[in-house]
A = this chain, B = another copy of it.
């Protein structure tokens, strides 16, 4: 598994395309191989099995995804700005890669429990970023004290995830990046009147 070989990335990129275009269950190894321009057998020189393609795909793509979010957020001053940047960058990146959006929001969820747990492992790094921003917010006295960290994380991630999934299922017909501000506001202030 030499991850710096061009063929490794070639195959992963082919997999994203094939899965986005055909759906998870119609994405046979042979189809991915064909799109990547290699023989079926070659896949198995770079990946242990089919599931390993998917795990690697997620690691590779989500790795970059999270890295970008880390970069963008650390440069911001306040927790509030950081949270906005996180939401904005999250939406922006998936908006920029339609294939990836389909794959992460819809197709990859059709995998079995085992694969999903490996995916969650990758996501942990993202959740930590969220946790830290929340921590900072509390320290800055921007956020309430006594917040259940896990629930907060679930609200933030759940809201963004549901928002992106709905956008994908509506065939990405509107601009999701535009909604970052409002989502941010909802998370910060909730539904109630500011004054309350």
Contact = CB atoms under 8 A, between A and B. Distances in A.
A106 B110 contact: no
Contacts of A183: 151, 155
A65 interface: no
A24 B142 CA distance: 44
A91 to B, nearest CB: 12
Contacts of A39: none
A154 B159 contact: yes
Say how many copies of this protein the assembly contains: 4
Contacts of A81: none
A58 B196 CA distance: 40
A191 B110 contact: no
Interface in A153-192: 154-155, 157-163, 166, 169, 179, 182-183, 186-192
The 6 closest A-B pairs by CB, nearest first: A158-B162, A190-B190, A158-B158, A189-B190, A155-B159, A154-B162
